[in-house]
Amino acid sequence: MRKLICAIAVAAAALAAGSAALAAGGTLHMFMSEKAVSNVSDPELKRLLERNRDIVLWASWYPDSGYAGGNKYGEYSHWSEFHNGYIDYIRNDIGPSHPEYERLIAHLLGAMAHGFEDQVFDHLFIEKVTEADGGTQDDVDRGLDMVCMGEHGRNELSAAARLKGNPARLTPVSHLEKVYEKLGAPWPDIRRQMISGLRFLYLAFEGTKILHKNESEIVRQKIPWGAANYMQAPGGVEHLGRLTALYWEARWKKLNDIPVDLVFATYPENGGALISRRAGTVDSSINIFFSEKYDQSSITPETVFVTGPNGARIDGAFHWSYGHNMLQFRPAADLPADSRFDVTVKDSIRDMFGAPMGKDYTFHVLAP
């Protein structure tokens, strides 16, 4: 009975953290990032991530600690301004000789993965679940955490085991205080917020462990397509494991002052096929991924465009996906079948610092 009471108390505490903590998809984020560690091809970066795997995985949920319990730093910690400030702190204030250099890079990349994964997951996978099942973001984020935990044994993570008694153990709280301070963030109690938020995330994870056995079947019934396809679909776990690895490698270059192209990946990949040619569905979208936040004002129908088999431009609309690293083009009308479409991203597109790409990026996709 005592164990049951404790279990109920943990679940209740997790629910009390609010939907931002329990429904943040932390289990999926950590799974995507674990896949990404395996997919990194740069040998030095891969070794660093493998040595600090638990830090990377727990950091993959870190930005959502800023929503939990009324905290204020969540949205800011998802995006490029924070990421670049964190990079500058590691590069300028810490440096490779510092004993915590590797741990800080591991935490940085985990936190960066979260924001990038949100963009792709929300605008490829969740939109598909909405089309197929009518599901909401909460159905997907919270619900698929439950399903994933049971189907893939995600309740036995070594990172979570290390957090028992101190949910901030894998988070460089003192260094993050300095990062936020240097960025002029308006939260004088940021240390208290971080420690509180990380505690809420830990309780949310423990609550999911308790609830997932009973909740999983309800989720499968509510979003059957989503529950059946979250691993392999575009924007799902395996896809984001590959894309996040490429994103990390691009950001690793920046950290080491190595030039990196602004466009680092697309979906479909060059020469790949769209799932659908029907307008109004996410399966006909063309997606471009940027290593740095783009300057939205530099993206126009003259700087990003799609041409069809006769050379005519395809009418469509841009979808900004939170306006950082992902740009989506959606055709205005059904695409002609069995056709090739050429995509041009002009060299004049700028990043958030005003630096232009310097050269055109082109690729093509096929319609079924």
Residues 61-74 have pLDDT tens digits of: 999 999 988 999 99
Query: In this model, does residue 18 exceed pLDDT 80?
Result: no
| Helices 101-120 and 43-51: angle between axes, nearest 10 degrees | 100
CA atoms within 13 A on the CB side of 193: 22
CA distance 185 to 188: 8
8 Å CB contact between 117 and 244: yes
Element (H, E) at 363: strand 361-366
**Which residue ranges does the chain devote to CATH 2.60.40.1220?**
261-366
SS3 call for 341: strand
8 Å CB contact between 173 and 248: no
pLDDT, tens only, 260-308: 999 999 999 999 999 999 999 999 999 999 999 999 999 999 999 999 9
8 Å CB contact between 153 and 68: no
Query: How large a percentage of the chain has pLDDT more than 70?
Result: 93
For residue 64, which of 178, 161, 198, 182 has the smallest C-alpha distance?
198
Residue type, 242: R
Average pLDDT over residues 100-117: 98
The C-alpha torsion from 140 through 141 and 146 to 150, rounded to 10°, is: 90
Joined together, the tokens standing for residue 283 give: 């399966």
Which pTM value belongs to this model? 0.94
Q: To the nearest whole number, what is the mean pLDDT of the chain?
A: 92
Residue type, 57: L
Residue with tokens 């960025």: 183
CATH number for the domain formed by residue range(s) 261-366: 2.60.40.1220
Query: In this model, does residue 22 exceed pLDDT 60?
Result: no
CA distance 360 to 154: 42
In DSSP terms, which residues pair with 286 in a beta bridge? 329
pLDDT value at position 25?
Answer: 85
Joined together, the tokens standing for residue 308 give: 């069809």
Query: In this model, does residue 141 exceed pLDDT 80?
Result: yes
In DSSP terms, which residues pair with 288 in a beta bridge? 266, 327
pLDDT bucket at 138, cuts 50 / 70 / 90: confident
CB atoms within 10 A of CB 221: 9
Residue with tokens 């997951």: 121
Query: Considering Cα of 146, then 159, then 116, then 175, what sign does the dihedral take?
Result: positive
pLDDT bucket at 161, cuts 50 / 70 / 90: confident
pLDDT value at position 136?
Answer: 86
8 Å CB contact between 30 and 57: yes
8 Å CB contact between 98 and 105: no
pLDDT bucket at 156, cuts 50 / 70 / 90: confident
